[in-house]
């Protein structure tokens, strides 16, 4: 019934990691977003959201993350008409230097401050909302 998508709000040295989605992507081509992807059908399994997110982050930008903390969830209808549930996690950068590893999915990686994201006129409201919530969670656990 739903596609389940997970995204990582990765914070390091005062900046959030964003990607510019590849122009080849079906949904959101060329836009800035958090790193993430869809859960695959696994049958009976555990930690599917967390494992999927770690796998997608490594596949797309070549870094490892840890200490995932739930930020929020939402739903939307993709360009294809499919219903999507999106879950965002705050992630701690563990290892690696991010780069556009999967050129089919990522055109560019960027580091932006919370203020830069919130003040950016072309970023979608849901990305700004996710960053606000992740920033709040980050300040609560620091």
How much is the pLDDT for 111? 97
User: Mean of the pLDDT values across residues 18-31?
Assistant: 74
Pull the structure tokens for residue 67. Answer: 């200490």
**Phi, psi angle pair for 121, to nearest 5°:** -70, -20
Confidence check: pLDDT of 13 > 70 = yes
Q: Are strands 35-38 and 3-12 parallel, antiparallel or unpaired?
A: antiparallel
How much is the pLDDT for 33? 93
Mean pLDDT score across all residues of the chain: 92
Rg (CA), the chain: 14
Q: Regarding the domain with residue range 3-141, which homologous superfamily does it belong to in the CATH classification?
A: Nucleoside Triphosphate Pyrophosphohydrolase (3.90.79.10)
Residue with tokens 């360009």: 79
Helix ranges (H only) for the chain are 48-61, 114-119, 125-141
Question: Over the stretch 33-68, which tens digit does the pLDDT of each residue have?
Answer: 999 999 988 778 889 999 999 999 999 999 999 999
How many percent of the chain have pLDDT more than 90? 76
The secondary structure element, H or E, covering residue 90 is: strand 83-95
Residue 21's pLDDT band (cuts 50, 70, 90): confident
pTM of the model: 0.92
Question: Over the stretch 112-133, which tens digit does the pLDDT of each residue have?
Answer: 999 999 999 989 999 999 999 9
How much is the pLDDT for 86? 97
Domains of the chain, by residue range, sit at 3-141
Confidence check: pLDDT of 27 > 90 = no
């Amino acid at each position: 019934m739903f596609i389940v998508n997970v995204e990582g709000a990765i914070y390091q040295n005062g900046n959030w990691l964003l990607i510019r989605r590849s122009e080849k992507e079906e949904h959101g081509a060329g836009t800035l977003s958090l790193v993430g992807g869809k859960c695959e059908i696994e049958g009976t399994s555990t930690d599917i959201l967390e494992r999927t997110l770690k796998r997608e982050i490594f596949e797309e930008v070549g870094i490892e993350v840890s200490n995932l903390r739930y930020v929020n969830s939402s739903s939307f209808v993709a360009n294809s008409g499919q219903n999507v549930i999106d879950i965002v996690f705050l992630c701690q950068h563990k290892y690696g230097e991010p780069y556009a590893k999967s050129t089919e999915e990522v055109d560019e990686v960027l580091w932006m401050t919370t203020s830069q994201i919130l003040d950016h006129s072309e970023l979608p409201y849901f990305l700004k909302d996710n960053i606000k919530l992740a920033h709040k969670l980050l300040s609560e656990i620091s």
